Chains A and B, each alone.
Chain A
Amino acid sequence: MKNGAVIRLDEVSKGFGSQLVLNRISMDVPRGRTTVIVGGSGQGKSVTLKLILGLMTPDSGRVLVDGEDITRMKKRDLDRVRSRFGVLFQGAALLDSLSVFDNVALPLQERTSLGRDEIRDRVMATLEQLGLTGHENKFPAQLSGGMKKRVGLARALQLEPEIMLFDEPTTGLDPEKTMEIYRLFSETRERFGYTAVIVSHDIPKVFNLADQVVVLNHGRVWSFASPEELQLSDDPEIVGFVRSTMGTIYRSGGVE
Chain B
Amino acid sequence: MILESLERLGDWATYWLGDIGRMGRFLGAAVRGVFRPPFRFRALLGQLREIGANSIGVIFFTALFTGMVLGLQGYYTLRKFGSEGMLGSAVALSLLRELGPVLTALMVTGRAGSAMCAEVGIMRNSEQLDALECMAVDPFRYLIAPKLLATVIAMPALTMIFNVVGIFGGYIAGVELLGVSSGAFMSGMEGSVVDRDIVMGLVKAVVFGVVVVWVCTGRGYFVHRIRGAGFGAEGVSRITTQAVVISSISVLVWDYILTAVLL
A residues at B contact (CB < 8 Å): 50, 53, 55, 79-80, 82-83, 85, 87, 89-91, 93-97, 106-107, 110-111, 155, 159
Q: Which of B84-92, B129-137, B157-165, B180-188 contacts A (4 or more CB under 8 A)?
A: B129-137
Contact, CB under 8 Å: B131 / A87 = yes
Interchain CA distance A90-B134 in the complex, whole Å: 14
Contact, CB under 8 Å: B135 / A110 = yes
Query: Residue on B with the closest CB to A95?
Result: B128
Contact, CB under 8 Å: A55 / B133 = yes
> Which residues of the partner chain B approach A106 to less than 8 Å between Cβ atoms?
135, 137
Query: Residue on B with the closest CB to A80?
Result: B136
**CB of B126 within 8 A of chain A?**
yes
> Which residues of the partner chain A approach B133 to less than 8 Å between Cβ atoms?
53, 55, 82
**CB of B7 within 8 A of chain A?**
no
Interface residues of chain B: helix, strand, loop or mixed (majority): helix
> Which residues of the partner chain A approach B38 to less than 8 Å between Cβ atoms?
110
Contact, CB under 8 Å: B127 / A79 = no
Interchain CA distance A50-B128 in the complex, whole Å: 14
Contact, CB under 8 Å: B136 / A90 = no
Q: What is the 8 Å Cβ interface bit string for chain B, positions 66-92, against chain A (1 contact, 0 not)?
A: 000000000000000000000000000
> Which of B134, B136, B138 touches A55 (beta carbons < 8 Å)?
B134
Contact, CB under 8 Å: B131 / A93 = yes
Please indicate which of the listed interface residues B126, B132, B135, B138 has the most CB atoms of chain A within 10 Å of its own CB: B135
> Which residues of the partner chain B approach A82 to less than 8 Å between Cβ atoms?
133-136
Q: Give 5 A-B pairs besides A82-B134, A110-B135 with Cβ atoms closer than 8 angstroms.
A: A53-B133, A82-B133, A89-B127, A107-B135, A155-B135
> Which residues of the partner chain B approach A83 to less than 8 Å between Cβ atoms?
135-136
**CB of B142 within 8 A of chain A?**
yes
Interchain CA distance A95-B133 in the complex, whole Å: 13
Minimal beta-carbon separation of B150 from chain A (angstroms): 15
Query: Residue on A with the closest CB to B119?
Result: A97
Contact, CB under 8 Å: B135 / A90 = no
20 A-B pairs, CB-CB below 8 angstroms?
A50-B130, A53-B130, A53-B133, A53-B134, A55-B130, A55-B134, A82-B133, A82-B136, A85-B134, A87-B131, A89-B131, A91-B127, A93-B126, A93-B127, A94-B128, A95-B123, A96-B122, A110-B38, A111-B135, A111-B136
> Which residues of the partner chain A approach B119 to less than 8 Å between Cβ atoms?
97
Please indicate which of the listed interface residues A79, A93, A97, A106 has the most CB atoms of chain B within 10 Å of its own CB: A93
Contact, CB under 8 Å: B128 / A96 = yes
> Which residues of the partner chain B approach A107 to less than 8 Å between Cβ atoms?
135, 137
Query: Residue on B with the closest CB to A110?
Result: B137
Minimal beta-carbon separation of A231 from chain B (angstroms): 33
Minimal beta-carbon separation of B28 from chain A (angstroms): 12
> Which residues of the partner chain B approach A94 to less than 8 Å between Cβ atoms?
128, 131
> Which residues of the partner chain A approach B142 to less than 8 Å between Cβ atoms?
110
Taking A85-B134, A110-B135 as contacts, is the C-beta distance between A90 and B127 under 8 angstroms?
yes
